Amino acid sequence: MQLVDLATLDAGSLAFKNSILAAAALALTSSSGRVGACAASGHPWDGELASCANWLSAHAAALREDEASLQPCKPLHNIALEDQHNIQTHTFDLALLDRAQVSIVAPVCPAQALVQYKSPSWHSLPV
């Protein structure tokens, strides 16, 4: 649940259907992996689900590195059992989202590939 919550803070999640996001999160976090995610969701692995899982893996890595997200949920003693599902037991700060987004961008655009843009010479021709 924390993985999907973190991912939906990222505007990139809008590129995927909710069922694809949920299935990709299941593939990344459950012991049944890809097979279980495909069986539970009915989506084939190839294509959109694999693409989403690849994108979502940066968020999963950021969560694994965050010590606060690894803490077990505290018991909800003062909340009736039938209402406990309504309580969100975790929060995220934007620093965690930033760590995930940096690892998404980094492989696509390494520092060595960033070069200063030079306008073509024909832009400076007189009109």
Q: Is the pTM of this model over 0.75?
A: no
Terminal CA-to-CA distance of the chain, rounded, Å?
A: 59
* 28-31 long-range contacts, CB within 8 A, separation 24+: 28/3, 28/53, 28/56, 28/57, 28/60, 29/3, 29/60
pLDDT grade for 19, boundaries at 50, 70 and 90? very high
**Looking at residue 117, what is its pLDDT?**
39
Q: What digits encode the pLDDT tens for the residues 112-124? A: 434 443 444 444 4
Is 24 within 8 Å of 51 (Cβ atoms)? no
Q: What digits encode the pLDDT tens for the residues 58-89? A: 888 888 887 666 566 677 778 887 877 666 66
What is d(CA 86, CA 82) in angstroms, rounded to the nearest whole number? 9
Choice between 118 and 23, residue whose per-residue pLDDT is larger: 23
